[in-house]
Chains A and B, each alone.
Chain A
Amino acid sequence: MEIKILGPGCSRCEEVHKRTIDVLAELNIAADVEKVTDLRKIMEYKIFVTPGLIINSKVKCSGKIPSKSDIKKWIAEELK
């Protein structure tokens, strides 16, 4: 599984990163987690508002800090 967190590096983006790592640890799942801070790369995902959360190239959420249960749900979707 490939997870990307889009954001120029403010504390809100950091929090999404932290929550994702936490959820992965709770579920005991291995995944490549990458922080994308280059704006041009962020634009490739066609989101306007950061932070964005991308799982397996799909935009799961943008513009807010998702709850851990949401992140769990999205990861489960991608595991199927």
Chain B
Amino acid sequence: MKDRTRILIFIVVFVILYFVPLTGIRLQGALLEAFFMVQEYAREHVLFCLIPAFFIAGAIINFISKEAIIRYFGPKANRILAYGVASVSGSVLAVCSCTVLPIFAGIYSGGAGIGPAAAFLYAGPAINVLAIILTARILGIEIGIARAVGSIVFAVIIGLLMSALFKNKTAVTEVSPTVEPEIKQRSLFQNTIYFVVLVLILIFAAWARPKEAVSFYSLMFGIKWYLTFGLLLLLGIILFSWFKKDELSDWVTSTWFFAKQILPLLFFGVMIAGFLLGRPMVDSGIIPSNFISILVGSNSISANFFAAIFGAFMYFATLTEVPILQGLLGSGMSKGPALALLLAGPAVSLPSMLVMRSIMGTKRTAVYILLVVLMSTVVGWLYGLLFA
């Protein structure tokens, strides 16, 4: 950092500290609210949701062959298949936010072209396992599914529109997997069992206490720890008999890297969401609830449009869109605009726009962003119409 920027930061911090009205009730409430929100996450979501989710993400990045998926993005790949794979594969390929843009660039310039590339870029951040798990857990299963389905369907549409609008320049170079295929340690069946067990552990450990006293859910809630421990035992046996030792340490390392990269940002995201908006149903964030409900409280086209625009330009660090949405919904945001924001938000941001521009030029980037905003508006509006 240059000394000049440092001095500027000092001055800004000084001015803020000098003038901040600490005695104001609203500000005190909001500051406290930030900590309440972080505590809620620490108590409710870290142990039984985030940590298992990180282990799943670590397993995906280690044990799923990316080359097998990337084959479908080659210049000679089947068009229809390329769109399908591009819009779905983000769930495993986009686990690390830093892989989305390189894969996008690869598909665009050396692979199946602008259509599948745009589809991948739109769906990737929304359907990676971590995003799905956290959205479903915190914002509710319904909006979690809407987010996943909405982004997959509209990824294909946006991709098709992009390739219809812009003639593909023929790929100059073929991107080929340069790494020699690894020796298979386990069969597909064994890998599947392993992943299913991991996901089941997450599901049962995170099983929420249901509202109804007697139901299938409450029965499951009653025995969830037995199930979880049984599955953990099974996992232990699987790991012991099917995995080599250094594979296991690779798995733990990758998991740790996810935690290291995502947790601090998420922590700040949660605090900021708490400070700005307060916990759900508590109107003590710095932004008053009625301000939110006036702006995006209804499911009008303009509210959806506003949410989509806001989402497109705002930068959400990996997963922080979830606590922010939680705060907004709690302050009276309508479900339609919430989905619009969820769809447009992680798909584009100012920093990613700059990278896209350097790869496919200003015109294509502008059209892509326009499509994202319009599509998200429409989906949000439809969702609000049908489900609210």
Contact = CB atoms under 8 A, between A and B. Distances in A.
Contact of B101 (A39, A46, A62, A64): A39
B93 interface: yes
Given A11-B257, A46-B173, A49-B70, A67 B250 contact: yes
A39 B355 CA distance: 8
Contacts of B177: 48, 62
Interface in B356-375: 358-359
Interface in B128-161: none
Nearest to B102: A50
Interface string B148-185: 00000000000000000000000001111111000000
A12 interface: yes
B6 interface: no
A56 to B, nearest CB: 14
A46 B175 contact: yes
A43 B261 contact: no
A9 B102 CA distance: 11
Given A49-B93, A62-B178, A43 B246 contact: no
A65 B254 contact: yes
Interface of A is mostly: loop
Contacts of B228: none
Given A40-B358, A64-B61, A8 B101 contact: yes
Contact of A46 (B73, B96, B176): B176
A5 interface: no
Interface in B86-111: 93, 96-99, 101-103, 105-107, 109-111
Nearest to B175: A46
A62 B179 CA distance: 7
Contacts of A47: 102, 106, 175, 178
B190 interface: no
Contacts of B178: 46-47, 59, 62
B302 interface: no
A61 interface: yes
- Measured as residues with beta carbon below 8 angstroms from the partner, the interface class of chain B is 35 or more
B257 A49 contact: no
B73 A48 contact: yes
B105 A49 contact: no
Interface string A1-39: 000000111111101000000000000000000000001
B209 interface: no
Contacts of A42: 102, 105
B103 A48 contact: yes
B102 A49 contact: yes
A42 B99 CA distance: 12
Contact of A48 (B106, B260, B355, B358): B106
Contact of B98 (A40, A50, A64, A65): A50
B95 to A, nearest CB: 11
Given A48-B73, A48-B102, A62-B178, A15 B359 contact: no
Contacts of B257: 11-12, 15, 65
B253 interface: yes
Contact of A39 (B111, B176, B260, B359): B359
A67 B244 CA distance: 14
A46 B246 contact: no
B96 A10 contact: yes
A46 B107 CA distance: 10
A33 to B, nearest CB: 19
B66 interface: yes
Contacts of A15: 253, 257
A43 B105 contact: yes
26 contacts: A8-B102, A10-B96, A10-B261, A12-B96, A39-B101, A40-B105, A40-B358, A40-B359, A43-B105, A43-B106, A43-B110, A46-B110, A46-B174, A46-B176, A48-B107, A48-B175, A49-B66, A49-B93, A49-B99, A49-B103, A50-B98, A50-B99, A59-B179, A63-B66, A65-B253, A67-B250
- When A and B form their complex, which 8 residue pairs have the shortest distance between CB atoms, in order from nearest? A10-B98, A48-B106, A59-B178, A11-B261, A46-B175, A50-B102, A39-B105, A48-B70
Given A12-B96, A49-B102, 17 more contacts: A9-B98, A15-B257, A39-B102, A39-B359, A40-B359, A43-B105, A43-B106, A46-B173, A46-B174, A46-B175, A46-B178, A47-B178, A48-B66, A48-B102, A49-B66, A65-B257, A67-B250
